[in-house]
Structure 1
Amino acid sequence: MANVIPVSWPRRIPAFLLSPSQFLSSTTSESFLEELLHELRDDRTNESTKIFLLSPLLEYPTVLCPTPAAAEETALELLAIFNQVPHKSFHFKDQLMVAITSVLLCTSCMNSEVARSFLDMVFQMIQDTNDHKNGQQFFSARLIACDCLREIETCFPGFLSQKLETLSLLKQQETTPLHQEYSLLYTLGLKNAIHHLSLQKGVTDAELKRTISGNDAFVWNAFETVLARLPVNLMENIPVLQTSTDNKELKSVVSLLLEESYLLTPVSQAFLLRELIEIVAMMQALSPAMFKSQLLRLFGTKEITLLHATLLMKSTFTDSLFTTEDEIFFLKRLVGMAQHPLVNIQQKLFYVDCILNFPENRPISGNGEESLPVLVTPQLAASLLPTVFNDSKTMLSRLRLLSLVYMEADESDDKGVGYLFRHLMTLYKVVDNNSKREMTVTYFRATFIFLSYFYHNLKFIDNLTNNICELYSRHFYLAPNLINLIDKIQECLEESGWPIQLLKALQRLIVELPLPLMTLTNLKWHLKILSRVSRESQIPPRASLCFLLSVLINSSLCKTGGWKMGNAVLIVCCNSLQHPSLHQVFSELADLLQYLMYNYEDTDIQDHARFYYTLLNNLSQEKLSGVLARGPDVERSAKTCSLSSIMPETDGLSNSLTVHQTKNRILKLTRVQNIRTQKVMQKTKSESHGDCPTTYEGEYVSTGLVSKMILEYHLIHVGDVNALYDKLFSICLHFDLTDSCYEKVSDINIPCLFKSRKPPVVRLALQPRQPYPTHLHVCAVFSTDDGMSWYTQLDDLLVPFSDLFVPLPVPVNWTQESQEQLFDHLWNSMCQDDFSQKASSLFCFDLGGRQISDLVEENFNPYLISKQPDKKCYKVLFYLPPQYHLLLKIVNTEDAGQVHIATDNWELLPFINDYLKTVT
């Protein structure tokens, strides 16, 4: 095939990045990667486009390079491109370095020759600090090279451990902003080198000095040996390197890095501090007091990243570095920043969380329970009292903090707790005045927080219960919020009796409501509450049952309530059947169920009420609980006996209700021979308004009528199967797509399949979104002669490209001349040199002594538009649903056959090429 395929990269690259699996369903990773590399090598492609083409390799290197061999070959190609790129294209060269690093790291091929060549080149690049001729270009290259080495050292700790002397000299000599990159690279290498030594036994001072002053080759075995990483959040598990003397060289290095840290950006400072904290924690000879000179600067910063590093320092060294005065100052700083007007909401929440989890020198308890530092007193936290003018998140975080403060302060006059309760009542008034959803949710969350800390304080809890009941009496739609609050309190505070207290109050409130004022809308919310009440064994259900029966008798609920309302009533009845005091409400429950049986309009509600009534009158309370509590997904052991004698359980019944799986494949689908793909929804002769190209494009293509195909298969047995499967009934075939190129395929039902009879024909309807070959997963469920149900897997169903061909979708009254005019019109439009989906190509093949007429007659006759014997030229047109065309001009030359190709979808060219190879 000799042509240039027009590639729409601005469309293809975003499509790949959005969903690689969906994109690769129409092509392969190898071919897509080959196209990318070909375009990157093309000198005609501009630099910005090449940088754009690297994004798939940066984001999904393992998808495009699934094996180490493919990754190594790709890295070698990219390295060759890197060496050929001119110096002026420094942005492209920088991105190439990042792409090569990404491919090598993500595909486990770092210990390869191409990796060694690349890393030697990168390290030479960062050492060439005296070459300033290229200005910004060289500065950018060294910056990216440092980032690549830092990424490699992070993934393979210890790789640079023998290059510390070189990195130290580079750091000292650099006067440009690249000094920061060298400092970070050196610090990371130093930390990993010390960590590696700490895992060994009997390390001497000489070995440590040799490591610090090392200037040897890369440690390539770092790619083969898995080194233990330092757990950043578990500093107590850090290994310690014990040396006999105070190592002055290392102390000098760490001190110098600390003194120069203020020259770095906040993010880089935080990274440097975290690495140095781990170094000091690993080295017994180094004192945490080295950080003392940095504390004042760190306490005064507003940078969140530096605050993170300071908290890590505080957690690691505690009183070895921080005095009580330092703790007080630090906490005051956090309190001040948590309310500063120029700090945004997210940062304020972070500061409050830092106060809640502050690592103090003298922790209250070591059992992991929530507690505050001793230094956080009500006086210190007084400025963080919540108000209704705070946003919801800030208000809740402050409420949680102050609740913990006042609970631990244990004030006898309850002033602090009283303020928090008054704040809760202020929120209550806002919600009572029909506030927005956000404030309603905030009120219930604040109530949960208050109850979590002060559920034992009866003085406030009783008032809170009364206020919530009053709120519900005016706003019944808050029932889901109340139920959620009760569930969460029961889940988190098992010892609290407040949920039962509130449910009793709500039940009493509902059953005392006047019936004349009851509406179906309000009753819907009341039933939710009563359903929740009926689940509690400590609350008698009599009042609820009497209330519901009264509502049914004195309202139109039975006629207008519908299924949902009736089901809500049945939930209360079902819960009452399992209640411990069922014997006390037997009559009330029986009356309610009988009334539902005879008066409710919905048949399903009647049937369920009758079923519950039967259980109530025929089973003991123990059997009732066992029957109703067992859900459909609860497994029962073989030794468990049925609690009910209504229907005895037998193995035969269990087998007949189970779908068994066959051990082997017993069915398969085979294509019906000599049956072409059929068109669906073709226009008839009476609908035609003409037979010209314009009519075709306007009526038969743009309307999308010809969109489905029918493929016919025989369903047969696979070889000699067990006699049990000779007769199959009620067969259901299920098809699962393996890509997104087709619409979902519906299940196909077949009445029966007998081995002794002619196999049935299965008509599979496919509706393509894109005309690509595919395969479908097929399974079947069927019944055998003995009444058993079975599941079996069939071989995948292959739909080759040739099965998608459909003859020209025009009415039968179109003349041969009109069809040929349409062919010429489509051919001319597809061969235009534009940037659309259209494309043309050429395929050549050897006839091998055959006649070209025989080849056309055998393979293309149903799609033949015209033939010109004098010119030995044949015109063939395929229609590819849902709206694409494939045009062929087959010509016989002196030494070979030629197939000129035109299509309105260039992505079909690889499939067309494979098809022509097959038929020729």
Structure 2
Amino acid sequence: HSATVSITLIMASWEQRISSFLLSPSQYLSCTTPESFLAELLDKLRDGKAHDSKKILLLSILLEHPTILCPTMLAGEEAAQELVSVLNCTPPKSINLRCHLMLAVTNILICTLCLSNRTKVTEDYLHFLFTLIRDTNDNVGGLSLHSVRATACECLREMENCQPGLLSQKLEALYYLKQQETTVLHQAYTMLYMQSLKNAVWILTQQNDIDNGKLRSVLSGNEGFVWKPAKFAKSLSMAQVPQLPTTLDYKELKSVTSLLLEESYLMTSPSQAALLRGLVEMVAMIPGISPAIFKSQLLRLFGTTEVELMHATLFMKGMFTDSLFTAEDEHFLLKRLVGMAQHPLLRIPEKLFYMDCILHFPENRPISSSGDESLPVLITPQLTLSLFPTVFNDSTTMLCRLNLLCMVHLEANDEEDGQGLRFLIDHMMALLRIVDNHGSRESVVTSFRAVYIFLLHFSHMENLSEKLVHQLRELYSRNCHLAPNLINLADRIQERLEDSLWPVQLLKALQRCIVEMPPVQLTLQSLGWHLKILARVAQESQITQRSTICFLLDILVNSNLCERRSWNVGAAILAVCRNLLQHPTLNQMFIELSDLLQHMSRHYEDTDIQDHARFYYTLLTNLSLEKLASILAKAPIGGQMKVRSLSAITASEELGSCLTVLQTESCILELIKVHKNGSQDAGPSAEVLSDTDLYEFYQEQLKTPDFASEVILMYNLVHSNMLDPRFDRIFTICLHFDVDTLHYADVNNIYVPCLFRDRKPHRVSVTLKPHHPYPTSLR
């Protein structure tokens, strides 16, 4: 009894460990190593006292995360060998455990590259699987091996899929096994044979000098496994599919294909779809087999209600186009898709699938091959009358229908389809009325998504755009909490339609709605939403901002907002000011904005807001527009800067490089001496005096009472010949001189406000005051 309790407690702890591992493998392995955890797991699997269900739970780790516990091929080989040993020791009655062990071994061999590197455990395991599937109709093992054989077929098919051509020399054996199997496992054998046959045909297309002998040898092969790796490229269209030579005899291949198509009637829908896709890909590589071989399948495929079969049909159409499907077939298939997209007995995901099929329909003569959503030419407004959205549809179905109908009526003229477009507009207005009547959160999100979809197609129509802008403005005036939705709508439209003026029109209308709003409608809560809108409006260069500033200054002066000390409101106002500081028309509203910031720095009774407002005011009044914009536009590495208040301007490397003085590699400025003409040059010419005579002449001048002991040198400060566009526009210059204080007095720094390469050079004067005569030079 005590031993049973101990085992139960151990397995309970294992359940917790497995749950923790599956929740976060990296976090779990931080307390141990993959090797030790795998060793414990394998040891528990070898425990004969543990229940099968517990062992299956342990195997789930190897099925979900094989490469975490077996990071190398050697580790995978050892783990697979251990699992094979456990499989051999598992009693026949533990069918479920044996199946899971086979799946785990297959998973490890594939994921750790043991299969592609032909390890010994892989070869032994493949022979073991093939031995299992040779027992057709359970003649030897009985019904107890029924599920095991099905799992063996699936394991072999997965290994063939990951190593194309692995079974290409066993096609005859697989064919006879398929023919002999009369139980429900005939489907599994058929799928395994089809996968191997398709890959074998593809490998033949990659070889040179293919003749009938090579083709027959492949179809009648009953040899070992083929370990030569083959990179199988999945083709997307018939033009990209490699093909066999047209001179070969394909009668046997055609016979096999026809037999597989006849047997498809006995298979489940998912298996039928997989079989059809494989056969379509194979027939596309064989020029001797006409796509018309699938003609007998089209009638039942057109009438199917199974999603997977319809998907296979569309894949077939995309591959063969008009070589298999006539124009009448194409029109009938489209009508079928439209009918299924609104069938009342279908579930919502299935309806969405059929609508997606319409928008990605593989036409016989496609106008565009971009792969994006496009409307088939045969889809007309009359054909889609039953797909008009209603407010009673679920949100996803309604949005998909709206998108489809917008595409249908986009190019229809008023004479033919004015009523359909008016219906779409009325539907949009109905959705907005639901939002206006305090609709749920889901209805709000759905309505704005619908507006977005509608604008993607009809934003170029001015009358419809203006009607929507007016409706959204009225909606916001009564529901200011919709500010985030409106901002997001404007942002998304700008992202998709860069040239559209609709977002600017919407923001301008919202700005006008806010600044013209009566004071009695303004509350502290609504003001927060209004400020979010105004902050977004301030980012638009095409919208004048003076009315925004006047509105903000008015509510600050004529209300007790400053005394209420609301940090959130103050930060929201500063967010607006931040965007205004970056506005291209800042010069036109300089006085108003400075008044606003100065008022906040003096009267807003929150120290943090005052400090930020004062800092903004300092930036505004002391920096040029270019430098101000460059500082405020800086964002931290790895993301967008949070636009809330001035606290968003943080000390960063980019900001520091913008404000500090950098050491240049070469000279970027130079001083050019200005030569004066006139009486100041009277006297002996320096050009005809020697250095000694010039020195004596200067000493004589010092004996003159009115001679000033100052030397004023005039220079033009210009750019050097080095062309560096970074320094073409310099806004602040400080000239600092290092002098020999034993002979000269200190020279004051010279400040130059700005220097542009394309403007007139700035003239500076350097005043030297010598203590006594002493030669020097300016470097």
Contact kept, 8 Å, 1:191 with 1:275, in 2: the verdict is: yes
Give the Cα–Cα distance (whole angstroms) in 1 for the partners of residues 630 and 218 of structure 2: 72
Matched, 1:81 2:86: yes
Match of residue 701 from structure 2: none
Match of 1:192, SS state, is: helix
Match of residue 311 from structure 1: 314
Match of residue 46 from structure 2: 41
Matched, 1:273 2:276: yes
Give 1:651 deviation, angstroms. 5.6
Q: Pick from 9, 12, 18 the counterpart of residue 11 of structure 2.
A: 9
Match of residue 200 from structure 1: 207
Q: Pick from 603, 620, 623 the counterpart of residue 624 of structure 2.
A: 620
Match of residue 661 from structure 2: 649
Match of 1:8, SS state, is: helix
What pairs with 1:653-692 in structure 2 (closer than 5 Å)?
none
| Number of equivalences | 640
Give the Cα–Cα distance (whole angstroms) in 1 for the partners of residues 333 and 387 of structure 2: 16
Structure 1 residues 437 and 43: CA distance shift in structure 2, 3 A:
closer
Structure 1 residues 39 and 626: CA distance shift in structure 2, 3 A:
closer
Structure 1 residues 408 and 321: CA distance shift in structure 2, 3 A:
farther
The one-character-per-residue Cα deviations of 1:447-499 (angstroms, maximum 9, x if unpaired) are 11111111121222221111111111111111111111111111111221111
Q: Pick from 151, 158, 163 the counterpart of residue 156 of structure 1.
A: 163
Give the Cα–Cα distance (whole angstroms) in 2 for the partners of residues 286 and 230 of structure 1: 21
Give the Cα–Cα distance (whole angstroms) in 1 for the partners of residues 585 and 47 of structure 2: 85
Contact kept, 8 Å, 1:205 with 1:243, in 2: the verdict is: no
Give the Cα–Cα distance (whole angstroms) in 2 for the partners of residues 99 and 294 of structure 1: 37
What pairs with 1:705-784 in structure 2 (closer than 5 Å)?
none
Give 1:26 deviation, angstroms. 4.1
The one-character-per-residue Cα deviations of 1:521-541 (angstroms, maximum 9, x if unpaired) are 111111111111111111111
Give the Cα–Cα distance (whole angstroms) in 1 for the partners of residues 55 and 368 of structure 2: 59
The one-character-per-residue Cα deviations of 1:279-338 (angstroms, maximum 9, x if unpaired) are 011112221111111011111111111111111111111111111111111111111111
Q: Pick from 553, 556, 571 the counterpart of residue 557 of structure 2.
A: 553
Matched, 1:322 2:322: no
Match of residue 425 from structure 2: 421
Give the Cα–Cα distance (whole angstroms) in 1 for the partners of residues 411 and 292 of structure 2: 33
Give 1:130 deviation, angstroms. 5.5
In terms of fraction of residues, the more helix-rich structure is 2
TM-score scaled by length of structure 2: 0.78
Give 1:172 deviation, angstroms. 1.2
Matched, 1:177 2:184: yes
The one-character-per-residue Cα deviations of 1:227-268 (angstroms, maximum 9, x if unpaired) are 222326566432222231441011111111111101100111
Structure 1 residues 64 and 577: CA distance shift in structure 2, 3 A:
closer
Contact kept, 8 Å, 2:338 with 2:354, in 1: the verdict is: yes
Matched, 1:249 2:252: yes
Give the Cα–Cα distance (whole angstroms) in 2 for the partners of residues 177 and 491 of structure 1: 55
What pairs with 1:348-367 in structure 2 (closer than 5 Å)?
348-366=351-369
Letter in 2 for 1:365: S
Structure 1 residues 468 and 135: CA distance shift in structure 2, 3 A:
same
Give the Cα–Cα distance (whole angstroms) in 2 for the partners of residues 633 and 645 of structure 1: 14
Letter in 2 for 1:186: Y
Structure 1 residues 24 and 612: CA distance shift in structure 2, 3 A:
closer
Give the Cα–Cα distance (whole angstroms) in 2 for the partners of residues 437 and 645 of structure 1: 46
Structure 1 residues 64 and 405: CA distance shift in structure 2, 3 A:
same
Matched, 1:586 2:596: no
Contact kept, 8 Å, 2:480 with 2:526, in 1: the verdict is: yes
What pairs with 1:129-148 in structure 2 (closer than 5 Å)?
129=136, 131-132=138-139, 134-148=141-155
Match of 1:66, SS state, is: coil
Match of residue 574 from structure 1: 578
Give the Cα–Cα distance (whole angstroms) in 1 for the partners of residues 633 and 194 of structure 2: 63
Q: Pick from 92, 98, 102 the counterpart of residue 93 of structure 1.
A: 98
Q: Pick from 385, 403, 422 the counterpart of residue 400 of structure 1.
A: 403
Match of residue 63 from structure 2: 58
Structure 1 residues 619 and 45: CA distance shift in structure 2, 3 A:
closer
Contact kept, 8 Å, 2:178 with 2:189, in 1: the verdict is: yes
Match of residue 887 from structure 1: none
Structure 1 residues 163 and 602: CA distance shift in structure 2, 3 A:
same
Give the Cα–Cα distance (whole angstroms) in 2 for the partners of residues 59 and 623 of structure 1: 55
TM-score scaled by length of structure 1: 0.66
Matched, 1:519 2:526: no
Letter in 1 for 2:120: E
Give the Cα–Cα distance (whole angstroms) in 1 for the partners of residues 539 and 88 of structure 2: 75
The one-character-per-residue Cα deviations of 1:176-215 (angstroms, maximum 9, x if unpaired) are 1111001000000001111111122222222122111111
Give 1:59 deviation, angstroms. 2.8
Match of residue 720 from structure 1: none
Structure 1 residues 396 and 50: CA distance shift in structure 2, 3 A:
closer
Match of residue 782 from structure 1: none
Letter in 1 for 2:78: E
Give 1:631 deviation, angstroms. 3.5
Contact kept, 8 Å, 1:520 with 1:561, in 2: the verdict is: no
* Unaligned ranges ≥5, structure 2: 640-653, 665-779
Structure 1 residues 53 and 479: CA distance shift in structure 2, 3 A:
closer
Letter in 2 for 1:262: Y
Give 1:66 deviation, angstroms. 3.2
Match of 1:584, SS state, is: helix
Give 1:367 deviation, angstroms. 5.2
The one-character-per-residue Cα deviations of 1:60-89 (angstroms, maximum 9, x if unpaired) are 333333333333233333323333333333
Give the Cα–Cα distance (whole angstroms) in 2 for the partners of residues 268 and 172 of structure 1: 17
Structure 1 residues 306 and 644: CA distance shift in structure 2, 3 A:
closer
Contact kept, 8 Å, 1:349 with 1:394, in 2: the verdict is: yes
Give 1:171 deviation, angstroms. 1.1
Contact kept, 8 Å, 2:211 with 2:248, in 1: the verdict is: no
Contact kept, 8 Å, 1:191 with 1:276, in 2: the verdict is: yes
Letter in 2 for 1:257: L
Letter in 2 for 1:219: V
Give 1:347 deviation, angstroms. 1.0
Match of 2:410, SS state, is: helix
Structure 1 residues 484 and 19: CA distance shift in structure 2, 3 A:
closer
> Which stretch shows the higher mean deviation, 278-287 or 183-192?
278-287
Match of residue 484 from structure 1: 488
Structure 1 residues 309 and 622: CA distance shift in structure 2, 3 A:
same
In terms of fraction of residues, the more strand-rich structure is 1
Give 1:345 deviation, angstroms. 1.0
Structure 1 residues 193 and 634: CA distance shift in structure 2, 3 A:
closer
The one-character-per-residue Cα deviations of 1:314-369 (angstroms, maximum 9, x if unpaired) are 11111111111111111111111111111111111111111111111111234566
Contact kept, 8 Å, 2:535 with 2:576, in 1: the verdict is: yes
The one-character-per-residue Cα deviations of 1:640-687 (angstroms, maximum 9, x if unpaired) are xx99999652469xxxxxxxxxxxxxxxxxxxxxxxxxxxxxxxxxxx
Match of residue 698 from structure 2: none
Match of residue 72 from structure 1: 77
Give the Cα–Cα distance (whole angstroms) in 1 for the partners of residues 659 and 197 of structure 2: 76
Matched, 1:460 2:464: yes
Structure 1 residues 534 and 168: CA distance shift in structure 2, 3 A:
same
Match of residue 537 from structure 2: 533
Instruction: Tell me which structure has the larger Cα radius of gyration.
Output: 2
> Which stretch shows the higher mean deviation, 493-502 or 32-41?
32-41
Contact kept, 8 Å, 2:360 with 2:371, in 1: the verdict is: no
Give the Cα–Cα distance (whole angstroms) in 2 for the partners of residues 634 and 427 of structure 1: 39
Contact kept, 8 Å, 2:166 with 2:227, in 1: the verdict is: yes
Give the Cα–Cα distance (whole angstroms) in 2 for the partners of residues 88 and 473 of structure 1: 73
Q: Pick from 264, 267, 278 the counterpart of residue 264 of structure 1.
A: 267
Match of residue 286 from structure 2: 283
Contact kept, 8 Å, 1:627 with 1:644, in 2: the verdict is: no
Contact kept, 8 Å, 2:212 with 2:249, in 1: the verdict is: no
Match of residue 129 from structure 2: 122
Match of 1:244, SS state, is: coil
